[in-house]
């Protein structure tokens, strides 16, 4: 009977959600934002997201942590919980386009008004203002302005409530997302029959970027000193002023743009580097910006790794201990206001912050499952206590920027696995030896080296008990059985289930004492059936128990037949029952009990080793005795006279030919 369980559902915009249901630790320098989740108990749940961001949305669901008990399929009911998400989309039909510096008259009644404005690249600031606002002809501006789209897990929509008629109602957005439409919703706060009229005005403040020229970089060596590298700064001829175009405008310079080359190494493995160099010149006048292209739709399933290293010689000789190289990592638009704030927050994104100083020359940031977008790396020299120190100071910062499927290939205790679900590719780590975590770095439940050696020795040396049934089989001239036991002993690491199943099969058939031809046919057919069934599902209970029960039925049938034919219990000797069959049956029953109901993930190494020993011991006890007419080790004897001993299985007579 399946019980009601709590299902946890995660939602995220732009990339798969980073979930951690087991509470394991992440690698050092990893920044993980909390995920938006909903818990439900086998019922319907709905989430209403108004004005969602355009693009890909990801949903992930999981059940509570399962029991560590290893259960055989077929002995316990298999419970399947179906999760079926449905999406209902309601589109806005009438959307007005708000052009920069052009007032757009609007009238609000009971329904909101929807606007959109396109934010071009290199936009430093966006100002939205409501002018001439009036409610039913009187002064006042009962309007709520919502700017931006809703995202999960974090929602950075900006809400402006305009109520006072004495001051201008405006909203200032620094570093809005570049090269995309921005949604604006205006809703009346007055009554249902009160009209509100106003004019919406959008003002864009553009900046002029200095773009590093590729030809100038070819003339400079990466090993040049910091003084030589200062020639790369404006107004040197190595920069192109692209700000004179109408697209960017003629405002002041706001950033130094280092062109970045994207090099796809493998599936979900990308290397980013500045063109023809690995270092970036950082100064205090304006931020140095690098754009990382992660908008292909196939990059959100890996981990973005950013490693920075400041040149030690310029730092120690030119910069005091209070000087910092501040670094911000943002999506959609770069952070440009280092002189006003150091929180790395743009209009709709909370960025990741790093810093370099004389005491910390290196910094590293790991972002698992980055959002599908253009990412920006902004660097600027900051002197909080004495700004004049930064005016003539420059620092070379070397960058190592990678997108990898798994960090360090999951380390020595894990394996990186690429998974594809509904056309989306993402990576994860499969850990072993008790290690856990996003990159198999959590050693809270890890096995020590001594425990791993002990487990390996137990699983390996426990198979040596098969030497007992091998020796008895050769002693009693049961060569087929001896070969099966030898196979199980040597190849248990690779084919444990097949070797164990076939060992049980041949032992039971040998106890049935069938005719040689029939016995060998059944041995071969049973081995093929085992191989086929275990290939389909090696954890299935009936895949192994089914053939063994069939062999047991054959053995019982033959024993009953001999009891009726001889009118005496079979086997006839009570010593055989007391000293061989009962101990062997007891060991086999205990082995089956351990195999089906006592194994867990924690004690697997010990219980499975006991299973090996009990299986080998029961086979040694249950093997039938040798025939009275067969000498011990008869199968290994050599006859120099070239005579052949033949046995008539029907008449049980021996002749020499």
Residue 455 lies in a domain: yes
For β-strands 414-421 and 424-431, DSSP reports them as antiparallel
If one compares 401 and 75, the residue with the highest pLDDT of the two is: 401
- Can you read off the two tokens belonging to residue 107? 């009238």
CA 273 to chain CA mean position, Å = 26
Clarify whether residues 185 and 81 are in a common domain.
Answer: no
CB 236 within 8 A of CB 172: no
Is residue 197's pLDDT more than 70? yes
Q: Tell me how far CA of residue 347 lies from CA of 147, 177, 245, in angstroms.
A: 10, 7, 25
pLDDT for the residue numbered 179: 92
Residue for token pair 């020499």:
656
Q: Place 644 in a pLDDT band, splitting at 50, 70 and 90.
A: low
Q: Tell me how far CA of residue 566 lies from CA of 156, 399, 516, 572, 606, in angstroms.
A: 90, 89, 21, 10, 45
Clarify whether residues 74 and 100 are in a common domain.
Answer: no
Residue 156 lies in a domain: yes
CATH of the domain at 133: 2.60.120.380
CB 481 within 8 A of CB 507: yes
Q: Which helix (H) or strand (E) holds 403?
A: strand 395-404
| Gap between the Cα atoms of 260 and 327, Å rounded | 17
Cβ-based neighbours of 405, under 8 Å, separated by 6 or more = 267, 268, 269, 301, 302, 303, 416, 418, 427
| Gap between the Cα atoms of 381 and 310, Å rounded | 12
Instruction: Convert the pLDDT of each residue in 25-81 to its tens digit.
Output: 999 999 988 888 988 887 788 888 888 988 888 999 998 888 777 777 767 777 888
| 437: DSSP letter | S
| 536: DSSP letter | H
Is residue 225's pLDDT more than 70? no
Is residue 229's pLDDT more than 80? no
Is residue 576's pLDDT more than 80? yes
Residue for token pair 């030497």:
467
pLDDT for the residue numbered 125: 92
Domain-terminating residue out of 372, 404, 436: 404
Residue 235 lies in a domain: no
Clarify whether residues 461 and 577 are in a common domain.
Answer: yes
Number of domains in the chain: 4
Mean pLDDT of 360-386: 89
Is residue 127's pLDDT more than 80? yes
Q: For 401-405, 516-520, 538-542, which range has the lowest pLDDT when averaged over its residues?
A: 538-542
Residue 200 lies in a domain: yes
Mean pLDDT of 13-24: 90
What are the phi and psi torsion angles at 481 (to 5°)?
A: -65, -40
CA 475 to chain CA mean position, Å = 54
Clarify whether residues 283 and 354 are in a common domain.
Answer: yes
| Gap between the Cα atoms of 332 and 346, Å rounded | 9
Mean pLDDT of 487-495: 88
| Gap between the Cα atoms of 393 and 283, Å rounded | 6
pLDDT for the residue numbered 536: 84
Mean pLDDT of 92-120: 91
Clarify whether residues 140 and 186 are in a common domain.
Answer: yes
CATH of the domain at 356: 2.60.120.680
CA 313 to chain CA mean position, Å = 40
Is residue 510's pLDDT more than 70? yes
Cβ-based neighbours of 354, under 8 Å, separated by 6 or more = 306, 308, 326, 327, 328, 329, 363, 365
Domain residues for 179?
96-206
Mean pLDDT of 625-652: 59
What are the phi and psi torsion angles at 56 (to 5°)?
A: -90, 135
User: 35-66: string of b/e by CB count within 10 Å (b at 16+)?
Assistant: bbbeeeeeeeeeeeeeeebebebbebeeeeee
pLDDT for the residue numbered 224: 41
- Can you read off the two tokens belonging to residue 71? 């259960």
In three-state form (DSSP H/G/I as H, E/B as E, the rest C), the secondary structure along 562-595 is: HHHHHCCCCCCCHHHHHHHHHHHHHHHHHHHHHH
Cβ-based neighbours of 101, under 8 Å, separated by 6 or more = 201, 202, 203, 204
- Computed over every residue of the chain, the mean pLDDT equals 83
| Confidence (pTM) | 0.79
Helices (H) and strands (E) in the chain, counts: 12, 30
Domain-terminating residue out of 374, 404, 434: 404
Q: Place 452 in a pLDDT band, splitting at 50, 70 and 90.
A: confident
Clarify whether residues 191 and 266 are in a common domain.
Answer: no
Q: 310 by DSSP, 3-state: which?
A: strand
**Rg of the chain over all Cα atoms, to the nearest angstrom:** 38
pLDDT for the residue numbered 541: 73
Cβ-based neighbours of 189, under 8 Å, separated by 6 or more = 142, 143, 144, 161, 163
Clarify whether residues 121 and 176 are in a common domain.
Answer: yes
| CA dihedral over 311, 317, 321, 327, signed as positive or negative | negative
Cβ-based neighbours of 489, under 8 Å, separated by 6 or more = 463, 464, 466, 467, 470, 616
| Gap between the Cα atoms of 128 and 624, Å rounded | 94
Clarify whether residues 606 and 458 are in a common domain.
Answer: yes
Q: Which helix (H) or strand (E) holds 35?
A: none
Clarify whether residues 525 and 551 are in a common domain.
Answer: yes
Residue 184 lies in a domain: yes
CB 540 within 8 A of CB 73: yes
Mean pLDDT of 612-637: 82
Is residue 306's pLDDT more than 90? yes
Q: Which helix (H) or strand (E) holds 452?
A: helix 449-461
Residue 304 lies in a domain: yes
Look at residues 517, 515, 513 and name the one whose alpha carbon lies nearest to residue 558. Answer: 513
User: 627-645: string of b/e by CB count within 10 Å (b at 16+)?
Assistant: eeeeeeeeeeeeeeeeeee
| Gap between the Cα atoms of 600 and 341, Å rounded | 54
CB 530 within 8 A of CB 523: no
Look at residues 623, 629, 619 and name the one whose alpha carbon lies nearest to residue 654. Answer: 629
Clarify whether residues 128 and 32 are in a common domain.
Answer: no
Clarify whether residues 520 and 570 are in a common domain.
Answer: yes
Residue 297 lies in a domain: yes
Residue 648 lies in a domain: no
Q: Place 313 in a pLDDT band, splitting at 50, 70 and 90.
A: low
What are the phi and psi torsion angles at 350 (to 5°)?
A: -95, 110
Domain-terminating residue out of 404, 439, 457: 404
Clarify whether residues 489 and 475 are in a common domain.
Answer: yes
Instruction: Give me the percent of the chain exceeding a pLDDT of 90.
Output: 37
The β-bridge partners of 197 are: 107, 134
């Amino acid at each position: 009977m399946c019980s009601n369980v709590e299902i946890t559902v995660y939602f995220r915009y732009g990339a798969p959600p980073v979930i951690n249901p087991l509470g394991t630790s992440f690698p050092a320098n990893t920044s993980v934002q909390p995920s938006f989740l909903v818990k439900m108990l086998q019922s319907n749940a709905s989430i209403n997201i108004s004005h969602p961001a355009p693009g890909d949305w990801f949903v992930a669901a999981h059940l509570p942590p399962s029991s560590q008990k290893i259960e055989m399929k077929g002995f316990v009911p298999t419970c399947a919980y179906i999760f079926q998400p449905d999406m209902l989309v309601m589109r806005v039909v009438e959307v007005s386009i708000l052009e920069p510096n052009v007032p757009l008259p609007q009238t609000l009644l009971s329904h909101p008004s929807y606007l959109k404005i396109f934010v071009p690249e290199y936009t430093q600031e966006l100002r939205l203002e409501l002018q001439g606002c009036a409610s039913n002809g009187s002064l006042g501006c009962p309007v709520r302005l919502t700017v931006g789209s809703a995202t999960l897990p974090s929602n950075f929509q900006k809400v402006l409530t305009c109520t006072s008629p004495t001051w201008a109602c405006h909203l200032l957005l620094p570093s809005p997302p570049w090269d995309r439409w921005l949604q604006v919703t205006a809703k009346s706060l007055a009554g249902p029959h009160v009209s509100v009229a106003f004019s919406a005005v959008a003002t864009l403040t553009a900046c002029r970027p200095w773009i590093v020229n590729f030809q100038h970089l070819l003339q400079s060596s990466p090993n040049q000193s910091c003084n030589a590298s200062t020639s790369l700064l404006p107004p040197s001829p190595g920069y192109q002023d692209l700000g004179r175009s109408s697209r960017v405008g003629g405002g002041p310079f706001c950033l130094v743009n280092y062109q970045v080359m994207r090099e796809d190494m493998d599936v979900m493995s990308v290397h980013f580097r500045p063109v023809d160099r690995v270092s970036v010149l950082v100064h205090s006048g304006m931020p140095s910006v690098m754009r990382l292209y992660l908008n292909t739709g196939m990059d959100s399933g890996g981990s973005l790794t950013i490693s920075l290293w400041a040149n030690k010689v310029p730092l120690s000789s030119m910069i005091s201990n209070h000087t910092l190289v501040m670094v911000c990592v943002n999506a959609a638009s770069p952070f440009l206001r280092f002189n006003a704030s150091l929180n790395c927050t743009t209009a709709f994104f909370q960025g990741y912050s790093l810093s370099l100083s004389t005491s910390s020359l290196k910094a590293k940031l790991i972002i698992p499952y980055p959002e599908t977008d253009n990412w920006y790396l902004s660097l600027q020299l900051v002197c909080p206590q004495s700004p004049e120190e930064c005016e003539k100071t420059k620092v070379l910062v070397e960058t190592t920027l990678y997108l990898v499927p798994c960090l360090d290939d999951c380390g020595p205790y894990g394996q990186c696995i690429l998974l594809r679900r509904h056309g989306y590719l993402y990576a994860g780590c499969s850990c072993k030896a008790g290690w856990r975590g996003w990159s198999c770095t959590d050693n809270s439940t890890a096995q020590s080296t001594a425990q791993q050696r002990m487990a390996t020795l137990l699983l390996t040396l426990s198979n040596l008990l098969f030497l007992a049934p091998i020796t008895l089989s050769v002693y009693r001239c049961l060569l087929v059985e001896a070969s099966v036991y030898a196979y199980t002993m040597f190849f248990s690491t690779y084919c444990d289930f097949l070797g164990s199943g076939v060992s049980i099969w041949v032992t039971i058939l040998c106890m049935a004492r069938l005719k040689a031809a029939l016995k060998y046919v059944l041995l071969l057919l049973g081995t093929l059936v085992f191989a086929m069934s275990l290939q389909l599902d090696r954890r299935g209970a009936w895949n192994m128990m089914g053939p063994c029960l069939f062999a047991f039925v054959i053995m019982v049938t033959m024993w009953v037949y001999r009891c009726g034919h001889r009118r005496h219990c079979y086997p006839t000797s009570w010593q055989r029952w007391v000293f061989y069959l009962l101990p062997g049956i007891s060991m086999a029953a205990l082995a089956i009990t351990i195999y089906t109901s006592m194994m867990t993930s924690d004690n697997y190494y010990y219980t499975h080793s006991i299973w090996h020993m009990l299986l080998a011991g029961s086979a040694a006890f249950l093997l039938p005795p040798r025939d009275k007419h067969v000498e011990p080790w008869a199968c290994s004897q050599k006859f120099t006279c070239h005579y052949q001993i033949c046995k008539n299985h029907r008449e049980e007579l021996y002749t020499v030919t």
